[in-house]
Structure 1
Amino acid sequence: MAETALIVGAGAGLSASLARHCANEGMKIALAARNTDKLGRLAGETGAFVHECDVADKDSVATLFSWLDETLGTPDLVVFNPSKRVRGPLVGLDPDEVLAATTVSCHGAFLVAQQAARRMLKAGRGSILFTGASAGVKGYPQSAPFAMGKFGLRGLAQSMARELHPQNIHIGHFVIDGGIRTKDDDRETPGEDKLLDPDAIAETYLQFHRQPRSSWAWEVELRPWKETF
């Protein structure tokens, strides 16, 4: 039976690479995002189902998984990609904007993970993967809200791994320590490889999903081979 993958926060870049890699492995795919208008081409390319979801809204997340129950069933793989940034000096930050940012990056991850874990525990298997950042292990100046969200995301993943690994639910946190290359990216010259290739990241996510449980990891740090910052 074909596996099912749910990619939350889907769009261009890493999410699109993940969808294509999953499709190449014969998986059935569901894509979720606040704005689904941008997903038509990717859905057509990968045969994916598409559903609108705001990860900051618990009812929206619950509706997503109820829909998934009726269409593709319990997912074998769930990937959480959303995040929200608010930049600026600490003393000038808008508290409401900070709350919104941490709600998406961290609390939204909890909401998705909780719904996924409930179903995976009944099925007795599954992988839940979180896309983190270098900000989850090192806070940068004028970027406190992003660090708060990503530190919380990492803590969630670590706690989940200790709780759920013994129950055959594989948890992964990925520290994306660098910029991700986009199409026609002008931040590097061809072959320079100072940016991370989204296809290479996606390949690592699927390798992680396939790890034998006798040697499961809970975290992987991915970074370009050149130190640029």
Structure 2
Amino acid sequence: MSIVIVGAGPNLGAAVARRFGREGLAVGLVARNAEKLEALAGELTADGLTADYAAADIRDAEALSAAIGSLADTLGPVEVLEYSPLPAKAFMKPILETTVDDVRGPLEFSVLGAVAATTTVIGPMLERGSGTILFTTGGAAINPYPLRAGVGISFAGEVAYARMLHDEVAERGVHVAHTAIGGRIAPGADHEPDDVADLLWRLHVERSGFQTRIGID
């Protein structure tokens, strides 16, 4: 069985990979930069974990689905999907300056990407009657900020999608959860990556509730 981390990077993605990998799950990494993914996969392998990667632009739904599918073929069925790509700064314009084109990118990133990733793994999960899908976003999902309009809009859509999934599949063995985190996730920053990874592991194991808020009033 495996975990696929969409939006894998050196902070939260790496911490989640190590936390779930230590529990025996093979680790699949997805992001756009193949060179960085290769380096992270090499570090995980050197630590004794089973890891592989597939580069894809999250805004390209077909490429994202293909990347996840290839990792499932290589590493085994996806037991956990962690969807936590870091939005681009270009998605964070003030609301009065935000145009249709400015919203399109965030929606592709947070909503269409989330749907593409989920639809790739949800069928096998439902057939097995087991699996976890974890959506992790910034605090704008709860408290939208008018100076960062794109993510406020797109995170809201992502959470609505996640909540509907949770309600639909909870009785069929698949747990869907959303974690909203206010502040930066990095060593020495607002939230330590390892602490967030521990929380996500608990959400996977305990399988209770839909939404968790960290650093949000």
Q: Which amino acid in the other structure matches residue 160 of structure 1?
A: L
Q: Which amino acid in the other structure matches residue 10 of structure 1?
A: A
Paired position in structure 1 for 2:194: 199
CA-to-aligned-CA distance 1:183-213 (integer Å, 9 cap, x gap):
xx5x6xxxxxxx11110000010111111x5
Q: CA deviation at 1:83?
A: 4.1
Task: Work out the CA distance in 2 between the residues paired with 1:101 and 1:119.
Answer: 28
Q: Which amino acid in the other structure matches residue 138 of structure 1?
A: N
CA-to-aligned-CA distance 1:140-187 (integer Å, 9 cap, x gap):
1221111011111111111110001111101010011222234xx5x6
Change over 3 Å in CA distance of 1:56–1:88 after alignment to 2: closer
Change over 3 Å in CA distance of 1:148–1:112 after alignment to 2: same
Change over 3 Å in CA distance of 1:37–1:94 after alignment to 2: farther
| Within-5 A mapping of 1:24-173 | 24-47=22-45, 48-85=51-88, 86-173=91-178
Q: CA deviation at 1:94?
A: 4.2
Q: Which of the pair is proportionally richer in helix?
A: 2
Paired position in structure 2 for 1:210: 205
Paired position in structure 1 for 2:11: 13
Question: Mind listing any 5+ residue stretches in structure 1 that lack a counterpart?
Answer: 188-194
SS at match of 1:199: helix
User: Which protein is bigger by CA-based radius of gyration?
Assistant: 1
Task: Work out the CA distance in 1 between the residues paired with 2:156 and 2:136.
Answer: 12
SS at match of 2:78: coil
Paired position in structure 1 for 2:48: none
Task: Work out the CA distance in 1 between the residues paired with 2:41 and 2:77.
Answer: 20
Q: Which amino acid in the other structure matches residue 100 of structure 2?
A: P
Residues 54 and 68 in structure 2, CA contact (< 8 A), matched pair in contact too: no
Residues 83 and 104 in structure 1, CA contact (< 8 A), matched pair in contact too: no
Paired position in structure 2 for 1:191: none
Question: Whose RCO is larger (CA < 8 A, sep 6+)?
Answer: 2
Change over 3 Å in CA distance of 1:181–1:83 after alignment to 2: closer
Task: Work out the CA distance in 2 between the residues paired with 1:26 and 1:172.
Answer: 21
Residues 69 and 120 in structure 2, CA contact (< 8 A), matched pair in contact too: no
Task: Work out the CA distance in 1 between the residues paired with 2:92 and 2:180.
Answer: 20
Question: Mind listing any 5+ residue stretches in structure 2 that lack a counterpart?
Answer: 46-50
Task: Work out the CA distance in 2 between the residues paired with 1:153 and 1:40.
Answer: 28
SS at match of 1:79: strand
Q: Which amino acid in the other structure matches residue 5 of structure 2?
A: I
Count of equivalent residues: 210
Deviates more, 1:55-64 or 1:121-130: 55-64
TM-score computed with the length of structure 1 as normaliser: 0.85
2:211 alignment partner, one of 209, 212, 219: 219
